[in-house]
Amino acid sequence: MKKIKNLIFTDFAFLFLLASCGGTNVNLSSGEDENRAMVVWTYSSETKESIEKYYSVAFPEKKITIVTKPLDAYQTQLDGALRTGKNLPDVVALEISFVRKYVESGRLLNLTELGLSERANQELFEYTNEVGTADDGNLYAISNQASPGGFFYRRSFADQLWGDDSPDFVQTKLSNWNDFLNVAAELKANDKKIVSNVNAAQKVFNRTREQRWVEDGKLVIDPQWNTYLDLTRTMQDEKYSNETVEYYPGGGWFSDISGNDVFGYFLAAWGLHYHLEANATLGDQTSENDWGFIQGPAPYFDGGTWFAGIKGTTVSNAVKDFLNYRAFDQDYLQAWALDKSDFSGNKLTVEAVENDFSNSFLQGQNPYPLFEEITESITGKNVSIYDGSIGAIFSECAVAYATRHSGYETLDKTWAQFKNTVRNTYPNIEIN
């Protein structure tokens, strides 16, 4: 809860900062300083690695300083730098949970004015541009990565249940949420769990809902959330999961990957390399080369990193060159995709490399064409500045409802608790 409260406070403080500063950058010169190193802030060691491995090798003459900060302190430190105008970076990495907060802040370089939006609209997947485009219609953040999500499943389990482990067949068994619960019941009858954590499907609903948490200053509860709440309660009542905590070290979620009782995981494209392959073997347990990939009940995306320049930077030419490179340079993008086994956000890159991803871990399946199909069908318009904060409040309420915690016995009570917490956190949001 402490982490969630800190996140909420950070968002609230930042909104206050924008109101008090009028959305202008402070204490910065508009002149170019060609001799100064461009400063990049990131929360990911992978960003630092890719810059050093590709960008700095391709352009050794470019001066660049990379500062990696802990994710849980990233927004607080960036907000502080924006407030004071001191020690500001020139480029920032922005994670999906808070990218919209900065896109709408008025503190980022306008990439449309910088001449990047036309090419972005031609080459990059639409949803990534939607996430990086503010309500004023201008592009402020850009991504070289797309993160389509689906369901990775154990082929041996499918073969035992149905005598067919092919992705086409398994997709017919998991084409909607009713089917998902039916399969969960079949697995339970065979001493298996359909997923590791009870709230595994939240990331799917989070990206398939039609409405943002706040529209025109009013709290909006998308009708799909009721479906999700009832799904999680059924999952909990029927013990369809191992009740682990996603991404929590030592909590069982990772070790379930190598175990022999969890059927599958909802993961984005990057999860194949970073989670499944990395955790498939643990001790004498292994699930290596026993996986397949399908879309599952609905197309969605999860995670991703966007990059943006800070308004008022004195090295805007260097910033433009850097963003151009990350989003459009095909030598870099193709090498990165093949090196990381990840899915590119650039359509030209996907076209060039998609036939090179037959994966032994997936028993020879090439997931790239399905990643592409999913990416073409998802939207980024439902991402908002409140996803990190209000989304975290909802997550706690959803688990409390699933477990029938006192005060959360019914949907009405759960939504009342949710609204009350949002009201106390954001008194300026209209709540009916």
Quote the pLDDT of residue 4: 37
Are 165 and 232 within one domain? yes
- From residue 274, give the alpha-carbon distance in Å to each of 157, 181, 278: 23, 27, 6
Are 239 and 322 within one domain? no
Q: Which residue, among 200, 248, 209, has the nearest Cα to 227 in the 3D structure?
A: 209
Are 50 and 12 within one domain? yes
| Position 156 in a domain | yes
Are 6 and 130 within one domain? yes
Q: Which residue, among 366, 364, 160, 371, has the nearest Cα to 263 in the 3D structure?
A: 160
Are 277 and 413 within one domain? yes
Q: How many domains does the chain have?
A: 2
Are 164 and 226 within one domain? yes
| Position 15 in a domain | yes
Which regions in the chain score pLDDT beneath 50? 1-10, 12-30
| Position 235 in a domain | yes
Q: How far, rounded to the nearest angstrom, does the alpha carbon of residue 85 sit from its chain's CA centroid?
A: 29
Are 126 and 164 within one domain? no
Which of 314, 341, 356 delimits the end of a domain? 356
Are 321 and 418 within one domain? no
**Residues paired with 71 in a beta bridge:** none
| Position 265 in a domain | yes
Are 124 and 171 within one domain? no
| Position 369 in a domain | no
Quote the pLDDT of residue 29: 39
Residue 340 structural domain: 2-146+303-356
- Calculated CA dihedral for residues 259, 264, 266, 268, nearest 10 degrees: 70
Task: Report the distance separating Cα 154 and Cα 158, nearest Å.
Answer: 7
| Position 42 in a domain | yes
| Position 378 in a domain | no
Task: Report the distance separating Cα 205 and Cα 224, nearest Å.
Answer: 7
Q: How far, rounded to the nearest angstrom, does the alpha carbon of residue 271 sit from its chain's CA centroid?
A: 11
Are 266 and 397 within one domain? yes
| The two structure tokens encoding residue 207 | 């990206």
Are 91 and 191 within one domain? no
Are 267 and 404 within one domain? yes
| CB neighbour list of residue 111: distance below 8 Å, 6 or more residues apart | 117, 120, 132, 138, 139, 140, 141, 142, 308, 309, 323
Give the pTM. 0.90
| Position 379 in a domain | no
CATH of the domain at 335: 3.40.190.10
Quote the pLDDT of residue 160: 97
